[in-house]
Structure 1
Amino acid sequence: MPGTAIKPSWDKLFATASGQDGLFTTEQAAEAGYYHQLLKRYVEFGRVRRVRRGIYRLVHYPAGEHEELAEIWLWSKQAGVFSHETALSLYELSDVLPKRVHLTVPADWRRRRLKVPRGVVLHHATVRADERSWFGAVPVTEPGRTLLDCAMTHLSPELLAQAFQQARSRGLVSPDGLAEISQAAGLREVPG
């Protein structure tokens, strides 16, 4: 029936937030029956906390190890995929310590005027479903795509060699796959 409000369901909101390190968006809250006014009251009563515009956190939900990534992913309307040095770090494929979070968003986002969160670097490209995996609550480029992205953006030769060597020794990318990545990136030989 049009115009009928959904009855608030804390269980539904909790289930959504649980899969996102305790975070949820205003749209997800509305899907669980928590519209603007009710959500505002929950903030006032201390049950939820506003993290950034349109993103909230369940106050009593345990902190997640990569909660800041879940927040950035929700900011991207769940369209982004963590990539480049951020993905290398998540996979522990080198000693890289990224100073900023790398997120690949759809190529057509180039035309959007966005206020990018501080410390986030956006890359614009298509990431196919077979090039994604999940790291906890967030999507991340799979190891082969991660190595290609890093090689294409000229990660230092030492870190790139270390990443290739670790991917090979841990069986994350086959030797043939590493050769294809090297060729696609225009490298003379397979690093590492």
Structure 2
Amino acid sequence: MDEAPACRPNWNRLFETAAAQEGLFTTKQAAEAGYSPQLLVHYVHAGKAIRMRRGIYRLVHFPAGEHEELVAAWLWSELEGVVSHQTALSLHGLSDVLPIHVHLTLPTAWRRRRFRVPADVVLHHADVPPEDRAWFGAVPMTNPRRSLNDCAREGLSPELLRQAAQQALRRGLVTKNELGDVETALKPFGGIAA
């Protein structure tokens, strides 16, 4: 039986993939474009690519983006994760929350998987349906309603949670009826309107 010919490196395909992801790509995506791990190492040594973390690279044609860490976390999750919780609140411009880590929700099936979590990522597990998602550039994130309720269930400080909920209501991003978990969390503190 003849072996299939090796895929030749396709720069255009790799560039297009990276361009849609703030210049980042994974080892797997590079392989799909015909780049072996050895060729990637050569590109790093030649100054054409930068290794961001294990299995994730950036083409030097793309300067580091303001939200590069979000794309890197999403790529690390094999495109399965959804940016969520405090990180999503911040991206939606809700409250003064300034997360120091990327909050990422992985599918519940990933609970049983063993892997090394990047130091700058906080994991949550839940199945996030399409109607609970929004997009921030190339990266999926939870919509305002889901983000607020997730933060309420995870115990975000009442001051920040109230501020975020009030801003979302004022901007018409959610209705009060959609914030059941937020209302429950804030009830001991006077509710959303306090």
TM-score (ref. length: structure 2): 0.91
Which residue matches 2:47? 46
Matched letter for residue 62 of structure 2: Y
Cα deviation per residue 1:44-78 (whole Å; 9 max; x = unaligned)? 21111111111111012132220011111111111
Separation in 2, partners of 1:99, 1:37: 34
Whether the 8 Å CA contact 1:89–1:96 is kept in 2: the answer is yes
Separation in 2, partners of 1:41, 1:3: 24
Give how far 1:175 is off: 3.2
Separation in 1, partners of 2:38, 2:115: 26
Separation in 2, partners of 1:117, 1:83: 16
Give how far 1:39 is off: 1.7
Separation in 2, partners of 1:99, 1:57: 22
How many residues were matched structurally? 190
Separation in 2, partners of 1:55, 1:182: 36
Does 2:20 correspond to 1:19?
A: yes
Whether the 8 Å CA contact 2:158–2:186 is kept in 1: the answer is no
Cα deviation per residue 1:147-182 (whole Å; 9 max; x = unaligned)? 11011111111111101110011111123323x444
RMSD: 1.8
Which residue matches 1:57? 58
1:139-150 correspondence runs (5 A): 139-150=140-151
What runs of 5+ residues in structure 1 fail to find an aligned partner? none
Whether the 8 Å CA contact 1:144–1:181 is kept in 2: the answer is no
Which residue matches 1:87? 88
1:15-164 correspondence runs (5 A): 15-164=16-165
Separation in 2, partners of 1:169, 1:38: 52
Separation in 2, partners of 1:82, 1:3: 39
Give how far 1:2 is off: 5.2
* Aligned-partner SS, 2:63: coil
* Aligned-partner SS, 2:16: helix
* Aligned-partner SS, 2:134: strand
Separation in 2, partners of 1:186, 1:162: 13
**Judging changes above 3 Å, is the alpha-carbon distance between structure 1 residues 2 and 172 closer, same or farther for their aligned structure 2 residues?**
farther
Separation in 1, partners of 2:3, 2:159: 60
TM-score (ref. length: structure 1): 0.92
State the identity as a percent: 59
What runs of 5+ residues in structure 2 fail to find an aligned partner? none
Whether the 8 Å CA contact 2:161–2:182 is kept in 1: the answer is no
